[in-house]
């Protein structure tokens, strides 16, 4: 074959193998026999071996796994990868339905899907080609696991249309593959994986893609990027149908439901059928189907208000409670933990369980030596349900909380209206360590490489007493610590240095101000812009902010009135930390123009740009774009077929523009 013929043949083989693989793995409708597939595959492999330049990055032969990587790069998600709020029973589902109906009216369609128990991944395509795949990470930044994802046969390398988009889905390991993998590990003397989810995550975290290639993973896609306008769809169910046509592997069990009763029936049906599936599911995801409705419902900091994850009830098992251990948390609360004879619960081995507080131990009459029922509360945290009184021998010992802090020996106090016992010594080592652990955690400053163990070491070595001390650490000090190599020290110092650039909300959350969670930190950062401005705010000013209540306001002012706190903040400032909110890059915003300080709602279909683009441009001009129309809305831009939001705007007599007026304003102010 001459070169031109060879290139043509490679094109052809790529095309055929992609079609065959799609038909076989995704549609489950093979077009040719395995032998024919293998023959073409081998032919392509052979050509690529002799002519490496003819190996396309999306060649079907990448399924066997490419080169070993040095490490995973970071990927910043264009839109954060959120998680879902949980529902633990029928009542939670009904409450969800009520909230939805209150926001968008009674005419709502839900779509129910199986909640696959794996790990979330994002897949990006450009011109129909798979270009990048990432893990969720902290929701904002994940790891680039493209090469591993390429080995998964249900991840299409080429789509049926040359479009650019991002989809999200769940990577998982089928039950059978999991059992086989653990059998093989057992034979090889390796530690088995606790459950299919860990096995899938562990496989995708390997730097050698050949390992993932052998693990028989799959990806179900459950969401498609954008607001649908690009693809001419206006509901989640249509988007999934479209994604299926493009070649993605979509779970067939999805179902549209018109009422919450129907949703509950779906939940019951799958609760009964789940064990027959060949992959693990841990619940049912219920989503509002219409994109307009979804947009109107909007998001909290962590999750969309238009969806909820119903979790199957947890498995309950019995074991012996051998001891109670006490630990002191960040806020000084002393928490008792049950030490258990290890048992398998919902697929993972459990040896400890939270007992929450003394009252709970007394109320349930839990004693050391008891046989107890345990389960995983919600999803992951094991808890003691109750002792089995009939199993008592008389040797069980009732537990009482000590009068003094198990860490620093200062007297414990019970604050008014609280069940918890607290150590109120601000110098208590346990609290100091916990404060640092919180500061470096993902949603806070996200400093990788510092966990509980390192904090403990740093504290013992008298290197770090407060969070600001982290920024004074030097290579020579760290290298002295046990189990710290050159590489980890340099990674750690880089991570610390990088964290200086974080936007203000991460710092605010990291400081661990009582009652200031992720969402409140974000609101405060956005509202005040700088740490200095927030420091001087009084309660009156704070409570005028939407979504900031008395509790948070009191707590913030008390926090900043503390001399010790101010000293730490000064140290942080001197260390060069960014103390500004970066979210909207406020310093670059124009000071006048049609959108400055205006709250805008976009609804209906726009022709000249997507709603996402319009949002970005309005925000760049100082406007705020929100999802629902209220009396605080200044302007509603109504595209074609605008629905309930337009009606609401008219009711509230809010200014309404059509697309041409929007374009004019965007043009005028450029």
Binding footprint of ligand IVH on the chain (CB under 6 A): 82-84, 113, 115-116, 120, 170, 222-223, 285, 304, 307, 309
Angle at 558 between CA 555 and CA 564, to 5 degrees: 125
Sort strands 599-603 and 635-638 into parallel, antiparallel or unpaired: parallel
Residue 307 vs 478, nearer CB to ligand IVH:
307
CB 17 within 8 A of CB 11: no
Residue 223 vs 290, nearer CB to ligand IVH:
223
Sort strands 381-387 and 371-377 into parallel, antiparallel or unpaired: antiparallel
Find the shortest distance in angstroms from Cβ 86 to ligand IVH.
8
Please provide the DSSP assignment of 41-77 as one string. Answer: HHHHHHHHHH-GGG--TT-GGGGG--PPPS-PPEEE-
Q: Is 115 a catalytic residue?
A: yes
Residues with Cβ within 8 Å of 613's Cβ and at least 6 positions away in sequence, in order, are none
Find the shortest distance in angstroms from Cβ 68 to ligand IVH.
27
Angle at 611 between CA 648 and CA 81, to 5 degrees: 105
**DSSP 8-state symbol, 145:** -
In the three-class reduction of DSSP (H, G, I as helix; E, B as strand; rest coil), residue 666 is classed as helix
Residue 120 vs 525, nearer CB to ligand IVH:
120
Residue 116 vs 467, nearer CB to ligand IVH:
116
Find the shortest distance in angstroms from Cβ 256 to ligand IVH.
14
Find the shortest distance in angstroms from Cβ 116 to ligand IVH.
4
Residue 61 vs 237, nearer CB to ligand IVH:
237
Residue 115 vs 580, nearer CB to ligand IVH:
115
Residue 18 vs 197, nearer CB to ligand IVH:
197
Candidates 367, 362, 63; CA nearest to 209 is 63
Quickly count helices (H) and strands (E) in the chain.
Answer: 24, 24
Find the shortest distance in angstroms from Cβ 405 to ligand IVH.
37
> Tokens in use for 288?
């509002």
Q: Which residues of 644-666 are buried (b: 16+ CB within 10 A; e: fewer)?
A: bbbebbeeeebebbebeebbebb
Candidates 233, 189, 78, 86; CA nearest to 142 is 78
Q: Which residues of 461-475 are buried (b: 16+ CB within 10 A; e: fewer)?
A: eebbbbbbbbbebee
Cβ neighbours, 10 Å, residue 187 = 8
Find the shortest distance in angstroms from Cβ 88 to ligand IVH.
14
Q: In angstroms, rounded to a whole number, what is the distance separating the alpha carbons of residues 112 and 490?
A: 47
**DSSP 8-state symbol, 546:** T
Task: Say if residue 349 is exposed, middle or buried (CB neighbours under 10 Å; 0-12, 13-18, 19+).
Answer: exposed
Torsion over CA of 440, 444, 446 and 449, rounded to 10 degrees? 20
Residue 55 vs 197, nearer CB to ligand IVH:
197
Task: State the catalytic residue, choosing from 8, 115, 175, 605.
Answer: 115
Catalytic residue positions, numbered: 115
């Amino acid at each position: 074959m001459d070169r031109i013929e060879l290139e043509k043949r490679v094109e052809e083989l790529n095309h055929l193998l992609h079609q065959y693989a799609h038909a076989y793995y995704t549609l489950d409708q093979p077009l040719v026999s395995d032998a024919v597939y293998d023959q073409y595959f081998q032919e392509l492999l052979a050509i690529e071996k002799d002519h490496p330049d003819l190996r396309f990055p999306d060649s079907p032969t990448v399924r066997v796994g490419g080169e070993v990587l040095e490490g995973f790069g970071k990927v910043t998600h264009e839109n954060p990868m959120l998680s879902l709020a949980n529902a633990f029973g029928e009542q939670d589902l009904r409450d969800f339905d009520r909230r939805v109906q209150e926001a968008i009216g009674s005419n709502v369609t839900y779509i129910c899907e199986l909640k696959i128990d794996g790990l979330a991944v994002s897949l990006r395509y450009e011109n129909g080609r798979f270009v990048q795949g990432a893990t969720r990470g902290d929701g904002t930044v994940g790891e680039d696991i493209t090469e591993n994802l390429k080995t998964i046969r249900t991840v299409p390398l080429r789509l049926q249309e040359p479009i650019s988009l991002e989809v999200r889905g769940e990577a998982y390991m089928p039950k059978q593959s999991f059992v086989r993998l653990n059998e093989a590990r057992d034979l090889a003397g390796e530690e088995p994986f606790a459950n299919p989810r860990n096995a899938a995550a562990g496989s995708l975290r390997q730097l050698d893609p050949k390992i993932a290639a052998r693990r028989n993973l799959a990806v179900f896609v459950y969401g498609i990027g954008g607001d649908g306008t690009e693809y001419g769809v206006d509901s989640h169910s249509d988007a999934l149908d479209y994604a299926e046509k493009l070649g993605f592997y979509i779970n067939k069990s999805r179902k549209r439901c018109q009422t919450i009763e129907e949703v509950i029936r779906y939940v019951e049906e799958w609760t009964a059928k789940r064990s027959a599936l060949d992959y693990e599911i841990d619940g049912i995801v219920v989503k509002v189907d219409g994109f307009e409705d979804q947009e109107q419902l909007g998001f909290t900091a962590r999750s969309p208000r238009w969806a909820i994850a119903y979790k199957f009830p947890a498995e309950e098992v019995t074991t012996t409670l051998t001891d109670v251990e006490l630990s002191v948390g960040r806020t000084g609360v002393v928490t008792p933990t049950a030490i258990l004879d290890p048992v398998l619960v919902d697929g993972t081995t459990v040896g400890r369980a939270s007992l929450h507080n003394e009252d709970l131990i007394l109320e349930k009459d839990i004693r050391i030596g008891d046989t107890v029922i345990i389960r995983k509360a919600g999803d992951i945290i094991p808890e003691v349900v109750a002792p089995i009184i009939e199993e008592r021998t008389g040797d069980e010992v009732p537990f009482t909380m000590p009068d003094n802090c198990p860490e620093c020996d200062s007297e414990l106090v019970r604050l008014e209206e609280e069940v918890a016992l607290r150590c109120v010594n601000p110098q208590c080592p346990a609290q100091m360590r916990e404060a640092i652990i919180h500061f470096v955690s993902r949603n806070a400053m996200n400093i990788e490489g510092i966990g509980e163990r390192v904090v403990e070491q740093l504290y013992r070595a008298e290197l770090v007493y407060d969070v600001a001390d982290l920024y004074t650490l030097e290579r020579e000090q760290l290298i002295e610590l046990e189990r710290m190599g050159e590489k980890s020290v340099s990674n750690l110092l880089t991570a610390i240095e990088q964290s200086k650039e974080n936007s203000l909300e991460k710092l605010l959350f990291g400081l661990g101000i009582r009652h200031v969670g992720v969402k409140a930190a974000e609101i405060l950062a956005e509202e005040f812009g700088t740490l200095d401005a927030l420091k001087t705010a009084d309660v009156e000013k704070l409570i005028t902010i939407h979504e900031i209540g008395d509790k948070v306001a009191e707590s913030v002012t008390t926090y900043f009135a503390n001399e010790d706190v101010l000293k730490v903040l000064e140290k942080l400032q001197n260390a060069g930390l960014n103390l500004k909110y970066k979210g909207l890059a406020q310093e670059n915003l124009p000071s006048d123009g049609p959108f400055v300080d205006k709250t805008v709602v976009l609804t209906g279909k726009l022709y000249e740009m997507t709603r996402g683009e319009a949002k970005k441009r309005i925000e760049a001009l100082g406007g705020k774009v929100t999802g629902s129309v209220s009396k605080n809305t200044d302007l509603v831009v109504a595209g074609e077929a605008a629905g309930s939001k337009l009606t609401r705007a008219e009711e509230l007599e809010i200014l309404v523009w059509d697309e041409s007026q929007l374009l004019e304003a965007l043009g005028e102010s450029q």
